[in-house]
Structure 1
Amino acid sequence: MGEKDKRKWIDEITRCPECGSTHLVRDYERGELVCMDCGLVIDESYIDQGPEWRAFDSEQRDSRTRTGAPMTYTIHDKGLSTEISWKNKDSYGKNIPTRSRAQLYRLRKWQKRIRVSNSAERNLSQALQELERMSSNLGLPKDVRETAAVIYRKAVKENMIRGRSIEGVVAASIYAACRMLGIPRTLEEISTVTRIKKREIGRVYRIMSRTLKLNIYPTKPEDYIDRFCSKLKLSGEVKKKAYEIIKMARERDIISGRGPTGVAAAAIYIAAILMGERRTQREVAEVAGVTEVTIRNRYKELAEKLNLPVEV
């Protein structure tokens, strides 16, 4: 019997297999299912599934939760330490008296100091705060932030921070995480939310990729189509046409060795013309983070070699 079948059998059992008694008790402290008549321990790894509480808003969900927040790498102590809330309320939700608020303020201040006890933790705390700020400005999902935090922690272990700015390594970690999870952001986009130039971010990223042996595949033009089209407010028909243009170009080996953002921008520009939703080269260039010259060169190349019905 497999583990899944065994668990299903345990959950459905209502009678003791030894004496046939129905007097079964679940001891959640020991994690056991016990027959109270003969003392047989039917299961010794019983899990308390708990009641399925319904919550209609965030306040109800917070008040009915029975566990703390999950562990996260985006906080320097992984979220395992105690944190005194900024709300002046006690565990019952009642307001704390004014005479006790000064003491609570001092406790909160010392709690923050204790959480960061040495220079290494201070460095990590500062870096992860910067990571959260950049990710928020770029609109990145939680899994990208977690991956970027793990990459940064590995870089710290490999002593890659020495001689480099924290901001630059954080930016390179975010760029690597985006590429690993298939949500690419260009170096130009990342450089806009930090003070580090894109050339420096790219240099740190290459060193990081070699040192940490990150398994990252090159980005493809298709990875940028949806996001660029959304920013340009183009229809789904234009997206579909842009994908078709890139597919034909790949089959004829036209885009080999070309920058993926430039190819994606040119494909969108051509697709918008063909579908009657024309956008200027300047508009497309601003969204894609490339120059108008790049779009013009890729556009002419694609139009000529694929015999597309657009003016060259």
Structure 2
Amino acid sequence: MTELLSVSNLRLYYRTTKGVVKAVDDVSFNINRGETLAIVGESGCGKSSLSKAIIRLLPRNVHTYEGKVLLNGTDLMSMDEETFRKEVRWRKISMVFQGALNALNPVLKVGYQVAEPLIIHMGIKEKEAIERAKEILVKLGLSEEFAERYPFELSGGMKQRAVIAMALITSPDLIILDEPTSALDVITQANIMNMLKELKKSREQTFIFITHDISVASELADKVATMYAGQIVEIAPADTFYEEPLHPYTQKLMKSVPTLRRDKTLESIPGAPPNLIDPPSGCRFHPRCERAMDICRKEDPPIFERGHSVKCWLYR
């Protein structure tokens, strides 16, 4: 398969009144065309910051933003903001943001909002863009009449489909989905996941799927990465990830997922995620890890290859 996205040593730090937050700290991964990479982890681990670092939607309080991001071999980090906005954002990389149900403008019709990326980024006339918006809404299971409705007339699932249509309409190479099923009921979640699977199959669409729900990630992912305290600590093909997780944090995440099996005890992860202004020395998970050794407290582990990538001294 052809490599679409390569991320190397990416860092995104924020300046705050209390200190510098190391939200994304030396992250590296790659995705092939047509693949889905799921990124899982607790709230506050840096998943959303990683997505914004890739699409370059950065707040004003950025302290450090560096590394290498290649899309189809093109170095995105070397582009100035104007070039990136015109040539990459929403044309080649689009995003469904966390809290997308509230992302629609309440006073604009849905069809116009779905068509906006074509009007603004592709220079297509409004009438033609809205017709194309209707076409994609139909493909996502909504009728053309929904283009004439306002957001308050749509259910949560309908709004989510409209926001996904907005991300799809420019036919980008990569779509970043940041918690696309949060705040939806279980049935609607299943419908959205089925729709995403169909899009992946029919369009060979490449996704980065960000979620705190490790069980939902299994439905769409070809590869899964575990993120903890601003770092990716494990990344593996989905089958291997779920059958043979290596990192103690990933193992704890697996055991915290509810199941219907009586022989399985639901476990919690002791402690709390670290403060990213002053993260622990050595491995950032060691204060919560039952298998921590002296070296874990002193030295940050490199990435080890044990069938797949894991950042843990147990596999040296």
TM-score by length of 1: 0.25
Pick the structure with more strand per residue. 2
Pick the structure with more helix per residue. 1
Q: Choose 1 or 2 for highest CA Rg.
A: 1
